[in-house]
Structure 1
Amino acid sequence: MTIRFNAKAGIATALMIGSAVCTAQTKDARQEKPGINLFYMDKKVKPSDDFFRYVNGKWVDETEIPSDKTRWGSFDELRETTNNDALAILKEAAANKSLKSSSDQGKAANLYRTIMDTVARNKAGITPLKPYLTKINAVKDVKSLQALLTEMEPEGGLGFMGAGVGVDAKDSNRHVVSVGPGSLGLPDRDYYVSDDADSKEKREKYVLHVAKMLKFLGYKDKEAGEQAKKILALETAMAQPRLDRVERRDRRKSYNPMTVAELQKLMPSFDWNKYFTGIGFKKVDTVIVTQPKDMTALDGLLKQNKVEDWKAYMRWTLLNKSTGLLSTDIETANWDFYSKTLRGALKEESRDKNALQTINGT
């Protein structure tokens, strides 16, 4: 599904209060001047009949959504312009051989060159993942699982849950540790639990996609399909207790401060003091648990001790997070499901833009 989203609708408010300023992009010189853009208005429409159409009608009629995008509006135009500027800076840095690899610029340039070197990526295949896959294969119980999750958290984690440090939402003078749900392969909870036909179809296609991707790790067809179904089942169990889309809008529901001892009671299968120390968080006095029900449910899943299911989920999570750095056939397969099937994109973004997104962490 594609969305033509016109953020210029905000001009409606600007026309009423006379204080907003926007800049539109077009080759027409009339559009290069800052200020309220009247060119995109459809003055044939009475504002009393359809004010949105009155303000944005011409823009809606004449604007094409780029084939590598699934939505388009003035904020998307702004992001595109910013990305193009950032990409120009990045390419200049990548061409500068005098940058030290230890510098921030050097690290960004090296990563960019690595992503753009498709010959080396295709030759390497999944080789960069093998050390991590070996560690996943060695997991045999909750204790070894915790050790691996602790080790991998600074590198982006392997799902289940995540921890970070940020400004306290109720006291901007201090920073606090927060703990929340880990990653899932589908965008959010509703994809797993909704019973409508579209959601069911997307889950079926997701299983096929996961099976296809697992074959890059060496799974045969039958085993890949079986593992994909187990992964969906585990992710569904992880998704069910989470807040839905509406509940997540209420920030009060995700602000649940507690001591480490209280968190330990909430999820006793995990040694939280050891975990926090292992990821570099020392002397933690308060933890903001964003979704306590998720922690309780996760504790139940750990007590079931389905080690092979955990490992299948972590292999998939590892692969899914790494697609933009592996061979181009893996990268394209990832795009085919997430961008084309789920979001309706018609064309892959250029590789240099994908590289920029990876470097930006977006």
Structure 2
Amino acid sequence: MNVRNLVPLGLTIAIAASLAACGKNETAPAADAAKPAFDQSQIKTALISLNSADLDPSIAACTDLNGFVNSKWLKANPVPGDQTTWGSFEILRERSLEVQHALVQQAAASQAKAGSVEAKIGDIWKTGNDEAKIEAAGLTPLQPTLDKIGALNDTAAITQYLRDSQAQGQGVLFSLFANADYKDSANVIAYVGQGGLGLPEKGYYFDDAQARIRDAYVAYIAQVLTLSGVDAAQAAEQAKAVMAFETRLAKASMSRIEMRDPAKRYNPLSAADADKLTPNFSWTALFDTLKVPAAQKFSLAQPGFFSEMDKMLADVPAATWQSYLRFHTIDDASPYLSSQFEKANFEFYGKTLRGQQEMQPRWKRVLESVNGGMGEALGQLYVDAVFPAESKEAMQHLVQNLSVALKARLEQLPWMGEETRKKALEKWASFTPKIGYPDKWREWTGLQTNGDSYLGNMQAARAFNYRYMLDKVGKPVDKTEWGMTPQTVNAYYNATKNEIVFPAAILQAPFFDAKADPALNYGGIGAVIGHEMMHGYDDSGSQFAANGNFDNWWTDSDRKAFTERTDQLVAQFDGYESVPGVFVKGKLTLGENIGDLGGLTVAYDALQMALKENPKANVEVDGHSQDQRFFMNWATVWRRNFTDGELRVRLNTDPHAPANFRANGAPSNMPSYAAAFQCKAGDAMVRADDKRVVIW
């Protein structure tokens, strides 16, 4: 499966631990006083900032905040041909990529010591850019794996192959990863989850609206098999069989909405008991192969999926299994193979599915591989080059102010009883913020790279990172590790650690600018901080206690009051029509919408506190008050264009609503917004009292 780049940039909730682990490594790159400062002139992409010249006076703020702030910019900045979205997040990502590009070029050109982190990064970079060698190799680097697949002739052989490939981080049918035990968050167990699909979500296999995508997918499967040497007529028949195979898996899979419930991601049992559920697939044997101590307890959620997988091991012909595994093995490796495979993959996943008109330049594609294989190592170089210490200090102050504002909200919440409130405040007190970069960097000793094979280097990195993750099972959680690299333009909340995390790359305008007036920082990164804090109290995060355990800390009456309010928010977003006939899924996006509404509300409170402490800062800028600029910068953050294909994929898969609805949704529920712009009852941005959602 190779549905790349479908995970949205934006604010997210992270329950599962990342693949990164931390530890001291003597070969890791470190700041060097003798090294010249990074040349900032290499960054060509300009930052987005709130600019009065961008405002559209023909659209009233009381009618459409997003249109008032963003419409002129959006019209002038269509999605570039090599992108599927374009806005604040993408522009910051471009700036981050420009820095990373310079750093990997420097690493590749240096006379780094063999085995050093710089040398390993250089190996991936150089082999990824050696197009002549990649073209000459064709499918040869993958042939040993394809030969193994071609020899699979019965259930025993297939299950052995699935175990062996999983050990290399090449699992196709299901995911297997290490994460904190939901019921004992101080310790790590193994989790197994559904997978096996090449299309973004189960609905793509059944919905009438996706018939065109299904037909194109079958044609793509046949194309890949043909390119790999299968006769065209046979490839067409095999493609149909693969599609039928995946459709069975899809029918047994849970939807994205169902998977938002933590209870449906957690099903602890022993390997022996799991073996009884899937008599054709031994979990005991899998964990023996993986050398993972999970026999006594691991999580096997989505039992319906695994029951169907087990049946398919018995009743699907070995030839169909061969076709399925052959296709997905090639598809997954396509970014590292010759151009015919990479282009075929792009034509379907990029152009047909997501509306991307042209492939990104090679340097960006290879840089994605460096990030996939050694992202945190590159992150250390990134932080050393461009992240100033004062940014971290200023962020710590903002986090503290948001924390105070949130506590005040929790203490005064009228619908919450004292028993639940006490637990909510305990959770508030235990939040752990992480800003910029890890305090400890992970080590890379044992990763073997070379200057010969791009695919070989990426397979080595994948196996190394997977082993690194598996080795956490049965051990205490390392609370110093991060789930994102510093160069990632994003932020997240992790429920089992009860932490909020802000990588260095997001700490730029329009989110954060140490020289900006308070309104911009509170409407930007302040709202992001509040958003991540509120994930601790959204429909999913609120099911985890202060210690990170999946545990009910609510009274029945308070949970009912909470659900009544969140149901209103579901209905609001269900009413947003994004493209003709296609509406936002309020249940899918509920967690993020709770985060937006609560986060923006708390950020507004924190701004008022800051202005009270420093009245001299409460001034108009370009004719707009601090309150107005607060909301205007919130909209600037969500300035974003989409291709039609990308938007349609996200409406089916993304837990975030489209950006224009995020810009307008939370402010339309806030009386402070109406007051800031002197809006009146009946204006589009002013919800009637019985329609206005108030949660936190």
**TM value normalised by structure 2:** 0.46
Distance 2:257 2:301 in 1: 15
Please tell me whether the aligned partners of residues 7 and 74 of structure 1 are also in contact (alpha carbons under 8 angstroms).
no
Unmatched runs of 5 consecutive residues or more in structure 2: 1-7, 12-42, 374-696
How much does 1:156 deviate?
2.8
* Residue aligned with 2:61, SS: coil
Q: Could you tell me which residue of structure 1 aligns to residue 74 of structure 2?
A: 60
Which of 191, 206, 219 aligns to 2:204? It is 191
How much does 1:158 deviate?
4.5
How much does 1:85 deviate?
1.5
1:70-219 alignment, distance < 5 Å: 70-100=84-114, 102-196=115-209, 199-219=210-230
Alignment RMSD, CA only? 2.4
* Residue aligned with 2:179, SS: strand
Q: Could you tell me which residue of structure 1 aligns to residue 457 of structure 2?
A: none
Q: Could you tell me which residue of structure 2 aligns to residue 293 of structure 1?
A: 304
Q: Could you tell me which residue of structure 1 aligns to residue 313 of structure 2?
A: 302
Matched, 1:69 2:69: no
Compared CA separation, residues 109 and 159, structure 1 to 2 (3 A): same
How much does 1:229 deviate?
0.8
Q: Could you tell me which residue of structure 2 aligns to residue 46 of structure 1?
A: 60
Please tell me whether the aligned partners of residues 44 and 95 of structure 2 are also in contact (alpha carbons under 8 angstroms).
no
How much does 1:330 deviate?
1.4
Distance 1:175 1:160 in 2: 23
Name which of structure 1's ranges 88-97 and 317-326 shifts more when overlaid on structure 2. 88-97
Q: Could you tell me which residue of structure 2 aligns to residue 281 of structure 1?
A: 292
How much does 1:99 deviate?
3.5
Q: Deviations over 1:99-139 (max 9, x none)?
A: 41x33332222122112111111111100111001111222
Please tell me whether the aligned partners of residues 93 and 109 of structure 1 are also in contact (alpha carbons under 8 angstroms).
yes
Q: Could you tell me which residue of structure 2 aligns to residue 341 of structure 1?
A: 352
Q: Deviations over 1:269-316 (max 9, x none)?
A: 111111111112025422122322111110111121511111110000
Distance 1:108 1:290 in 2: 37
Name which of structure 1's ranges 292-301 and 263-272 shifts more when overlaid on structure 2. 263-272
Distance 1:42 1:157 in 2: 50
Distance 2:152 2:370 in 1: 31
Name which of structure 1's ranges 209-218 and 49-58 shifts more when overlaid on structure 2. 49-58
Compared CA separation, residues 280 and 6, structure 1 to 2 (3 A): closer
Compared CA separation, residues 80 and 123, structure 1 to 2 (3 A): same
How much does 1:249 deviate?
2.5
Please tell me whether the aligned partners of residues 42 and 53 of structure 1 are also in contact (alpha carbons under 8 angstroms).
yes
Please tell me whether the aligned partners of residues 65 and 71 of structure 1 are also in contact (alpha carbons under 8 angstroms).
yes
Compared CA separation, residues 262 and 96, structure 1 to 2 (3 A): same
Matched, 1:313 2:324: yes
Structure number with larger C-alpha Rg: 2
How much does 1:58 deviate?
2.6
* Residue aligned with 1:245, SS: coil
Unmatched runs of 5 consecutive residues or more in structure 1: 9-24
Compared CA separation, residues 27 and 74, structure 1 to 2 (3 A): closer
Q: How high is the sequence identity, in percent, across the aligned residues?
A: 32
Compared CA separation, residues 218 and 32, structure 1 to 2 (3 A): closer
Q: Could you tell me which residue of structure 2 aligns to residue 226 of structure 1?
A: 237
Distance 1:88 1:267 in 2: 50
Distance 1:203 1:265 in 2: 35
**TM value normalised by structure 1:** 0.85
How much does 1:336 deviate?
1.0
* Residue aligned with 1:162, SS: strand
How much does 1:178 deviate?
0.5
* Residue aligned with 2:85, SS: coil
How much does 1:38 deviate?
4.5
Compared CA separation, residues 6 and 246, structure 1 to 2 (3 A): closer
| Greater RCO, CA 8 A, separation 6+ | 2
Please tell me whether the aligned partners of residues 139 and 337 of structure 2 are also in contact (alpha carbons under 8 angstroms).
yes
Distance 1:345 1:311 in 2: 31
> Which AA in structure 1 matches 2:60?
K
Name which of structure 1's ranges 138-147 and 117-126 shifts more when overlaid on structure 2. 138-147
Please tell me whether the aligned partners of residues 142 and 305 of structure 1 are also in contact (alpha carbons under 8 angstroms).
no
Please tell me whether the aligned partners of residues 272 and 295 of structure 2 are also in contact (alpha carbons under 8 angstroms).
no
How much does 1:153 deviate?
1.3
How much does 1:6 deviate?
11
Matched, 1:247 2:261: no
Q: Could you tell me which residue of structure 1 aligns to residue 342 of structure 2?
A: 331
Distance 1:247 1:123 in 2: 46
Name which of structure 1's ranges 176-185 and 40-49 shifts more when overlaid on structure 2. 40-49
How much does 1:239 deviate?
1.2
Please tell me whether the aligned partners of residues 153 and 318 of structure 2 are also in contact (alpha carbons under 8 angstroms).
yes
> Which AA in structure 1 matches 2:201?
D
Compared CA separation, residues 256 and 157, structure 1 to 2 (3 A): same
Compared CA separation, residues 7 and 113, structure 1 to 2 (3 A): closer
Compared CA separation, residues 297 and 91, structure 1 to 2 (3 A): same
Distance 2:133 2:345 in 1: 19
* Residue aligned with 1:342, SS: helix
How much does 1:44 deviate?
3.4
* Residue aligned with 1:240, SS: helix
How much does 1:27 deviate?
8.0
Distance 1:263 1:181 in 2: 15
> Which AA in structure 2 matches 1:216?
L
How much does 1:225 deviate?
0.5
